[in-house]
Structure 1
């Protein structure tokens, strides 16, 4: 009896075909996963920076560059124009108040001084002549007054005597009335002489006052002219160091021209430049710190210059306490300027990852540290060392803070020793 032969369900050809289809599907899935960013990348641990997130004291600050300047700078301007005849101090010299620096010459100014002195001497001579004439006039009037007074006394004596004699009938009425008229005349002369003498005295006082006032004004003008000539010698207005002296012998200097400056050496200040982005957050009284010779020093903003130039504005800062002994004018300092008060916060170290992620995500290590995967985060304020973590991380988490430039769309990093 014939036995029916069953037809084989899976032939070699079908097996090969199915295997090819499965391989093709696997390849397609691999390509899709690769293109969708789900790829992995092997990374050597020694080539990356790993930081452990921690809680700590955080203060928002920004780095700024500051230049050391004298606490006060006095500009030296020519009070009078002239020709430089002599340099009495060199650039960099330490001067005391009143020390000469330059000697200028100005023939017109010196000639004006001579003319002014001559005017004063002429006026003084005229005053003396006028005063002598006034004194002589006063003497003459006083002599005239004395004569009138003597005539009045004599007229009164004759009148008194004639009055007695007339009453006794010894003399005629005509003689009596003649002596009375003479007495009255001399009495009126006396009144007039007193008025003249009083007016003369008042006129002499007024003339003397006007002469003295005129002399004082002329003398004041002379002193001013002498001061202008004295200003031809440029002197140090305060104790300090002469810097930026720009004058040579024979050079013509105009009135008001800048000659140099004098730096007061009693202390220093720091002038810092800050990006205009922070102009609304900078105010007088804010603090900054810098490190010098392994010591930390504190600065306080004393003045804010609100004028913005090339996207930056300036502030002046002074030392809060001691000043480093070795610090010098013109030295540049790296300052951390505080923008907020200290507070407790979750911190992650600054690094190159921020340029790629903008602080929106970070590679976070797995618990066993064998791999790192993308984790969404949110960062807040920053300072020169840390970012403030708002969410997405917790204390103890390990993250990669080095640059992500070579990672592209990689979703997971396999960390190799």
Structure 2
């Protein structure tokens, strides 16, 4: 008879075993999470007292916004070329002036005395030169007279000599008489040569002395002209057309030579002076474009000058209009300027907020998808503009972050939102 065989159950992993394992893993993870959460410092925060923004992907417009003041395109300073006491103040601050207009009249007794002395010295030198010229003319006349007498004497002595020579050859006169006539004639000839040399030398001396006197006279005339220029400089004049912007001089006030007493604003054009945070000093350069808005219209500018000095963590720039100017533009007006540092580029963006002051852009609180809490996340911030920060790493578009200030959060790693 056949025997019944007992069928053994196959051994192996069943579904219920898998469920047990997964449940165990979940339990362990839950325990670990609870343990971890218990070690994380937390702070309860009211949602209504914080600002939550969404991280986005978009174009980062690389510009900064600052305010600037309208200034004249250039300023010409007024310095006193000659010191003196203010006698008259003919033009007041704010007045429009033309080149050459007298603004101030100074008086200086020293300058007046210098002019009188120079004029007196010049007159004396002119009189001396005139008298010297007369003396030289008289001396020249006397020299010519002597030369004429010498010529006449030679003619007589030559005639006598020739007569005595002929008579001596005919033995009609003694030899001594002949020799005397000859010697007198030769002496007259030599005397004439001496008179000619004297006349020539006197002429050279006269010309030299006259030239020297005339040069001295020219120098004295130049000196007098310079002193007269000093007198003219007592009239402080406008060097260019423009507007008298400042005048620091009152009637009766003594002003030293070289003292700055005012300025003239050239109004042929205008510029805008702006101060930029030193953070951007390496990025701001000449010809960078900028815009301002006035009554709904955009006006274009360009950076004309970047000043190298940094004061109070800021440096100054000058901008000029590259096209139309706003109507009724005035010195001292304030405009808000958008200075373009670069071209727009795709980037991950986070709106500006007070969090940056606390974190320096190194981390931020990221809100959990449940919206129940937020935790610290390390990030790296790049550039910023008046609206957004450029996020280089650490965040993804769609994530929500707390952008308001963190001053009240302390060093807590987690914020419980309620």
Q: TM-score range by the shorter chain?
A: 0.7 to 0.9
Tell me the residue number matched to 2:263: 261
Per the TM alignment, residue 236 of structure 1 is displaced from its structure 2 partner at its CA by 0.6
Tell me the residue number matched to 1:250: 252
Name the SS for the 1:302 alignment partner: strand
Tell me the residue number matched to 2:4: none
Q: In structure 2, do the counterparts of structure 1 residues 101 and 42 end up closer, same or farther at CA, with 3 Å as the change threshold? A: closer
Residues 327-352 of structure 1: per-residue CA shift (max 9 Å, x gap): 32222333344555654433333233
1:299 to 299, 302, 319: 302
Find the aligned partners of 1:166 and 1:332 in 2 and give their Cα distance.
121
Name the SS for the 2:247 alignment partner: coil
Q: Is the 8 A contact 2:299 2:323 kept in 1?
A: no
Q: Is the 8 A contact 1:286 1:300 kept in 2?
A: yes
2:59 to 26, 36, 56: 56
- 1:177 partnered with 2:179: yes
Alignment of 1:94-173 (within 5 A): 94-164=96-166, 166-167=168-169, 171-173=173-175
Q: Structure 2-normalised TM-score?
A: 0.78
Find the aligned partners of 2:103 and 2:382 in 1 and give their Cα distance.
57
Find the aligned partners of 1:105 and 1:373 in 2 and give their Cα distance.
79
Per the TM alignment, residue 211 of structure 1 is displaced from its structure 2 partner at its CA by 1.0
Q: In structure 2, do the counterparts of structure 1 residues 172 and 98 end up closer, same or farther at CA, with 3 Å as the change threshold? A: same
Q: In structure 2, do the counterparts of structure 1 residues 282 and 165 end up closer, same or farther at CA, with 3 Å as the change threshold? A: farther
Q: Is the 8 A contact 2:88 2:105 kept in 1?
A: yes
Find the aligned partners of 2:84 and 2:405 in 1 and give their Cα distance.
68
Q: Structure 1-normalised TM-score?
A: 0.78
Coordinate RMSD, CA, aligned: 3.5
Q: In structure 2, do the counterparts of structure 1 residues 43 and 303 end up closer, same or farther at CA, with 3 Å as the change threshold? A: closer
Name the SS for the 1:135 alignment partner: helix
Per the TM alignment, residue 139 of structure 1 is displaced from its structure 2 partner at its CA by 0.9
Per the TM alignment, residue 205 of structure 1 is displaced from its structure 2 partner at its CA by 0.7
Q: Is the 8 A contact 2:383 2:389 kept in 1?
A: yes
Find the aligned partners of 2:83 and 2:153 in 1 and give their Cα distance.
71
Tell me the residue number matched to 1:70: 72
Q: Is the 8 A contact 2:380 2:392 kept in 1?
A: yes
Q: Number of paired residues? A: 380
- 1:399 partnered with 2:400: yes
Residues 59-82 of structure 1: per-residue CA shift (max 9 Å, x gap): 2x5444433222221222222233
Find the aligned partners of 1:316 and 1:358 in 2 and give their Cα distance.
30
Tell me the residue number matched to 1:19: none
Name the SS for the 1:97 alignment partner: coil
Q: Is the 8 A contact 2:57 2:348 kept in 1?
A: yes
Find the aligned partners of 2:163 and 2:35 in 1 and give their Cα distance.
160
Tell me the residue number matched to 2:15: none
Alignment of 1:265-284 (within 5 A): 265-279=267-281, 281=282, 284=285
Find the aligned partners of 1:332 and 1:133 in 2 and give their Cα distance.
78
Tell me the residue number matched to 2:221: 219
Per the TM alignment, residue 94 of structure 1 is displaced from its structure 2 partner at its CA by 0.6
Q: In structure 2, do the counterparts of structure 1 residues 356 and 110 end up closer, same or farther at CA, with 3 Å as the change threshold? A: closer
Name the SS for the 1:291 alignment partner: strand
In the alignment, structure 2 segments of 5+ residues that lack a partner are: 1-29
Per the TM alignment, residue 300 of structure 1 is displaced from its structure 2 partner at its CA by 1.1
Q: Is the 8 A contact 1:373 1:411 kept in 2?
A: yes
Q: In structure 2, do the counterparts of structure 1 residues 224 and 357 end up closer, same or farther at CA, with 3 Å as the change threshold? A: closer
Name the SS for the 1:297 alignment partner: strand
Q: Is the 8 A contact 2:364 2:402 kept in 1?
A: no
Find the aligned partners of 1:275 and 1:313 in 2 and give their Cα distance.
7
Q: Is the 8 A contact 1:305 1:315 kept in 2?
A: no
Per the TM alignment, residue 56 of structure 1 is displaced from its structure 2 partner at its CA by 1.7
1:192 to 184, 191, 194: 194
Tell me the residue number matched to 1:202: 204
Tell me the residue number matched to 2:7: none
